[in-house]
């Protein structure tokens, strides 16, 4: 038996929908398409929701995976008189659109499709569920951001004293040495570490995954290490207490064959001198 990923619409609601739609034939006020996907031709939005929530996605027959993130749920319906696409046509439309932006199909059945997009360590999950013989469908998009690394100056000092180094997940714009806003807090903690320990000197060392060329990655990793050094210095730390080194892809800590491994390899290490 086909199982629904979201709460199923009752048959009463499905029967009454054409009555309401014929009266307005326009999107529900305040609702719009998600930037990643355009709707099927002829359909209008009759409901939407946006919130941080947990969503269960089908990943196989009778198997689900619950994920948390920023959820966008949009319900579409076909106004009376519009030609009705097949259920397969709706699913294929979203599958092709997803593949065009790098999505991977996780699970597909006669009336359900789930996909996953992984880019720069971020995940976006998509579910399309068709109902009412192709006259309505639900689109659910869950955006899972990278976990913010909640490391403090004290954590860094403990790691340096014990291991001599600590790996930090400092995020940069793709292919650039521009530190992203969400990583400014970690930069501030590095500055606090050095201010609180005036005799401490460190090497800031950049690492990349294997995407690109070895030489290009070495240059990029060095530029990123220098960017962190300059950002810490801008917070009042003497730059002579820091050096910047770029190792490129030469020192991986995880398998570059997976996105998760590549995300771990893209790191900045603080090494005690």
Mean per-residue pLDDT, 40-54: 93
pLDDT of 6 > 80? The answer is no
Say which range, 77-86, 174-183, 257-266, has the weakest mean pLDDT.
257-266
pLDDT digits (tens, 9 = 90+) for 123-154: 899 999 999 999 999 999 999 865 556 789 99
Q: Which residue has the tokens 């090494």?
A: 271
- In 3-state terms, what secondary structure has residue 229? helix
User: What sections of the chain are H helices per DSSP?
Assistant: 11-24, 87-100, 153-163, 184-196, 214-233, 259-265
pLDDT of 47 > 50? The answer is yes
Cβ–Cβ < 8 Å for 87, 111: yes
Name the nearest CA neighbour of 28 among 41, 44, 46: 46
pLDDT of 177 > 80? The answer is yes
CATH superfamily of 153-272: OmpA-like domain (3.30.1330.60)
pLDDT of 4 > 50? The answer is no
pLDDT of 211 > 80? The answer is yes
11 — pLDDT class (breaks 50, 70, 90): very low
Task: Return the percentage of the chain with pLDDT > 90, whole number.
Answer: 73
State pTM to two decimals. 0.53
Contacts of 109 (CB under 8 A, 6+ apart): 2, 58, 61
Which sequence spans correspond to the domains of the chain?
Answer: 11-144, 153-272
Q: Which helix (H) or strand (E) holds 54?
A: strand 44-60
pLDDT digits (tens, 9 = 90+) for 194-206: 999 999 999 999 9
């Amino acid at each position: 038996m086909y199982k629904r990923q979201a709460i199923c619409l009752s048959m009463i609601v499905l029967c009454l929908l054409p009555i309401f739609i014929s009266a307005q034939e326009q999107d529900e006020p305040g609702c719009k398409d998600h930037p990643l996907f355009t709707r099927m031709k002829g359909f209008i939005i009759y409901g939407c929701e946006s919130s941080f929530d947990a969503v269960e996605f089908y990943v196989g027959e009778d198997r689900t995976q619950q994920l948390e993130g920023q959820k966008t749920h949009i319900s579409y319906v076909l106004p009376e008189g519009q030609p009705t696409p097949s259920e397969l046509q709706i699913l294929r439309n979203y599958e092709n659109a997803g593949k065009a932006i790098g999505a991977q199909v996780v699970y597909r059945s006669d009336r359900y499709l789930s996909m996953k997009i992984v880019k720069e360590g971020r995940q976006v999950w998509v579910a399309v569920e068709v109902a009412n013989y192709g006259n309505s469908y639900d689109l659910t998009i869950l955006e899972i951001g990278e976990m913010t690394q909640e490391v403090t100056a004290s954590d860094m000092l403990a790691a340096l004293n014990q291991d001599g180094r600590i790996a930090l997940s400092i995020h940069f714009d793709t292919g650039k040495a521009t530190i992203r806003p969400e990583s400014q807090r970690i930069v501030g903690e590095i500055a606090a570490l050095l201010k609180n320990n005036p005799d401490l000197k460190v090497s800031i060392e950049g690492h990349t995954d294997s995407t690109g060329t070895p030489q290009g990655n070495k240059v990029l990793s060095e530029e990123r290490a220098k960017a962190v050094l300059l950002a810490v210095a801008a917070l009042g730390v003497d730059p002579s207490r820091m050096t910047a080194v770029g190792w490129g892809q030469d020192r991986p800590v995880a398998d570059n064959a997976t996105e998760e491994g590549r995300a771990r390899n893209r790191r900045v290490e603080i090494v005690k001198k």
